[in-house]
Structure 1
């Protein structure tokens, strides 16, 4: 597959209300297709998969020590390469820590599996409660929900499978697979990582699980061509980072259709700037991309989303999100399309967002911009009346050239008169949408020359129509819907 170079500094003219804006809403770097570095060492696989899984007899045959030793000894600018050897094609590991300038390179045909031994991931240290990883803290809700109680979080839990902490210019690359084995029974337990997550849901209990890749203070992090399968929880979580690129990433969870994989977000940046996700394929059990609080200057370019909860911002927005460009996105049977979710316990300022050239089909909620988040897959259409002082405020949002080939509900809402949502729609068409499927309060919608077929007359939303000739032609999605790769 040939991918075009992405020059995210190039300005794109974008209509918003009656004003033409340059595309400041994007990664400020010049991002080009990454290159795989030469290897400092090649590690040969010693294990062989059985039905694409770890053989039971190999469950204790860990490769953690030799992989970590190679990462520790590799020179910056080089890669630790995992390769097949004869009929062997698998590695099994506990937590790994990346080093500055070093790439983990997983060759085609190789799978790097995460161990299902929760004790290997256990957080240790002074003041840490032992034995939490792989368990539910019965009766203890997550620290930010429900409102307004925020109990002090328990110290302890699980380390991620791969950590990129205080390490710059790290790479995770290759045409192979990293498999977190969220489906697998935790050693010594009668439940898997995913079953534990679902078991905790009815009472909104906190549970302790490992994540696949967690990065913090990881400037220059690059993920390239890698395939991620079956993460136990979030696949990629990046924080406190200036410069993160995911290019050609293939993310599929669960790999067995019909299996329940709760809380398996795809790519979640937070408290970071200059982020690009390009030419990637994401099919998972929660938000395909969830932009957490404190993210600015992010580009999401030419991606395909399948199962999941859509292109999301939130639910945490209390330190703000700003300057986002989503261009060339296809959403195929996600629950939501463009989704901004928060509430008064975790909200803040969200502004200068541009979504353009977007195709959807089979999407229940093509547009959901809401201050009503209740920790569910989709947002309610009315205010749940939580109390709190972290107020969601959505401004300067532009959606242009969006077509949904199937009908779905639209929600555009602000919190109150003082915090109205302001959005511009231009050439936005949702096939066969009815007036009853349009919901909203405390919002102003400015309709551009490309018009929209969304009828807001059944809501109290203020609609401002621009002057000039209206176009009735919907943005074409011919050839845009393709199978997951």
Structure 2
């Protein structure tokens, strides 16, 4: 049985046995359930329904506009010095992407292996509206190690430290509607791959992209590292059956669009690779991230609300070594109607590296970039090896300012935490007495139930977590159902 099938069976079984989770589970599997009022006894929270679209598993485009065959072999994930200086496949791939732009319908530019040649080496690429960059199983697109290839004019030098950010273009920039980055999955389950090579030396230096990120932290500066994929204002963007490996910085940023589906995406980067977020929907609406495997050195998911963010579903996903399934820290534009359902999180990555910020459920913001976060539901979440199982923190990183964060209508229904750190501590912090945290804890079982809390109105049913602190009230509420039973999949072969 595959890990994905096991998770689906577990989730469906829980749904059948847990009536109080029925609305959230229906939203998870059907994605068309209306918002539901809370049952009697619960605060006036409305359960999240997530993505307003009816989302099913995508498929690769039926029309291939152009095929690009690999001309490179690789040993040790590096190429010759001349190839590294001037990546030979940038123009070959971009030419096909440009020539296919404007085609009728959605078409693919497909990268394929050719005999013993399976590698492509490229600098930044632009994917246009109505086209999909499709990577065949057995083929790998490697990102350039030459920082000059990524340089943004007028910005700090890519590949260096600076007091501001923005010096590097992403490896792949998506511009326009109905575009995609997709892979072909073969009968053995292997998928096409994009490798950012964040663990290899920046050209002309022995320092890797990840070491540069560590230096930035120690020197209180910004590392100029390229993201792997960024889609800006690209409605109906799709990622499907593609491997994303060792990004120098964030793996995927989806910014300001309406309609984003990530399905069967496998992100595999070590837990100690700093600032390598998995998938970050930012100021977007109607997002589904499903059936994906995410391992990285920062947030597994980071929903950012610098501008309004709403209608998102994160379901049937598995995470390793991340900083959590997160909202924030930017919430000043507001975040509303977000559903997390049937997700598993392990605090240790697949190589045994423990996350440096080992959170499970996480909402974070501060007065420097705070706003309203409401109608957020967590349903059937399984946690293993956590240092902080639940973090709802309006004082993140001691940020100051006048943008006051307000977290209300948060419903956590069905959480099991196992193998937690002996010092594991959950955090439930409202901002002040005028902006208290509003949260319902239902069917929550943490093996270590220590917490810190302040200014919080907490309703509980069948919960081992009962916070105390300044301005904290805890009220028993009616409920039904039970704590989920959990199994934790292994990371699949790429």
TM class, shorter-chain normalised? 0.7 to 0.9
CA distance in 2, matches of 1:101, 1:413: 45
CA distance in 2, matches of 1:467, 1:399: 14
Is 1:306 aligned with 2:320? yes
Structure in which a larger fraction of residues adopt helix: 2
Is 1:172 aligned with 2:184? no
Is 1:242 aligned with 2:242? no
> For residue 204 of structure 1, what is the aligned residue in structure 2?
220
SS of equivalent to 1:201: helix
More moved, 10-19 vs 92-101: 10-19
Q: CA deviation at 1:189?
A: 2.6
Q: Quickly say closer, same or farther: Cα 1:459–1:452, change in 2 above 3 A.
A: farther
CA distance in 1, matches of 2:60, 2:478: 51
- Deviations, residues 206-245 of structure 1 (Å, cap 9, x unaligned): 2211110011110010000100001010000111100001
> For residue 140 of structure 2, what is the aligned residue in structure 1?
111
Is 1:161 aligned with 2:171? yes
- Deviations, residues 82-135 of structure 1 (Å, cap 9, x unaligned): 1110100100000000111101010111110000111111112xxx24x61111
Contact between 1:68 and 1:96, CA under 8 Å: does it hold in 2? yes
Q: Quickly say closer, same or farther: Cα 1:220–1:27, change in 2 above 3 A.
A: same
> For residue 482 of structure 1, what is the aligned residue in structure 2?
489
Is 1:336 aligned with 2:359? yes
1:280 to 292, 300, 303: 292
- Deviations, residues 227-267 of structure 1 (Å, cap 9, x unaligned): 0001010000111100001001000013xxx8x41100000
Contact between 2:299 and 2:326, CA under 8 Å: does it hold in 1? yes
CA distance in 1, matches of 2:376, 2:429: 16
Contact between 1:287 and 1:311, CA under 8 Å: does it hold in 2? yes
Is 1:29 aligned with 2:37? no
Is 1:63 aligned with 2:86? no
CA distance in 2, matches of 1:346, 1:238: 19
Q: CA deviation at 1:400?
A: 0.3
CA distance in 1, matches of 2:261, 2:44: 28
CA distance in 2, matches of 1:232, 1:218: 23
SS of equivalent to 2:219: coil
Structure 1: 5+ residue runs without aligned partners?
143-153, 375-383
> For residue 443 of structure 1, what is the aligned residue in structure 2?
456
> For residue 317 of structure 1, what is the aligned residue in structure 2?
331
Q: CA deviation at 1:455?
A: 3.1
Equivalences, count: 442
Contact between 2:33 and 2:49, CA under 8 Å: does it hold in 1? no
Q: CA deviation at 1:10?
A: 2.7
Q: CA deviation at 1:185?
A: 1.4
- Deviations, residues 56-94 of structure 1 (Å, cap 9, x unaligned): 564244200010011111224110111110100100000
Is 1:18 aligned with 2:42? yes
Alignment of 1:59-98 (within 5 A): 59=84, 60-74=86-100, 75=103, 76-98=105-127
Alignment of 1:320-399 (within 5 A): 320-333=334-347, 335-374=358-397, 384=398, 386-399=399-412
- Deviations, residues 344-371 of structure 1 (Å, cap 9, x unaligned): 1111111010000111110111100001
More moved, 16-25 vs 396-405: 16-25
> For residue 419 of structure 1, what is the aligned residue in structure 2?
435
SS of equivalent to 2:218: coil
Give the structure-2-normalised TM-score.
0.85
> For residue 462 of structure 1, what is the aligned residue in structure 2?
473
Contact between 1:90 and 1:113, CA under 8 Å: does it hold in 2? yes
> For residue 263 of structure 1, what is the aligned residue in structure 2?
275
Q: CA deviation at 1:313?
A: 0.7
> For residue 151 of structure 1, what is the aligned residue in structure 2?
none
Alignment of 1:116-131 (within 5 A): 116-124=145-153, 128-129=154-155
Q: CA deviation at 1:286?
A: 0.4
Q: Quickly say closer, same or farther: Cα 1:208–1:61, change in 2 above 3 A.
A: closer
Contact between 2:359 and 2:388, CA under 8 Å: does it hold in 1? yes
Give the structure-1-normalised TM-score.
0.86
Higher relative contact order (CA 8 A, sep 6+): 2
Q: Quickly say closer, same or farther: Cα 1:55–1:329, change in 2 above 3 A.
A: farther
Contact between 2:452 and 2:468, CA under 8 Å: does it hold in 1? no
Q: CA deviation at 1:193?
A: 1.1
Cα RMSD after superposing both structures: 2.2
CA distance in 2, matches of 1:417, 1:135: 44
CA distance in 2, matches of 1:26, 1:331: 20
Q: Quickly say closer, same or farther: Cα 1:388–1:216, change in 2 above 3 A.
A: same
Structure 2: 5+ residue runs without aligned partners?
9-27, 184-190, 348-354
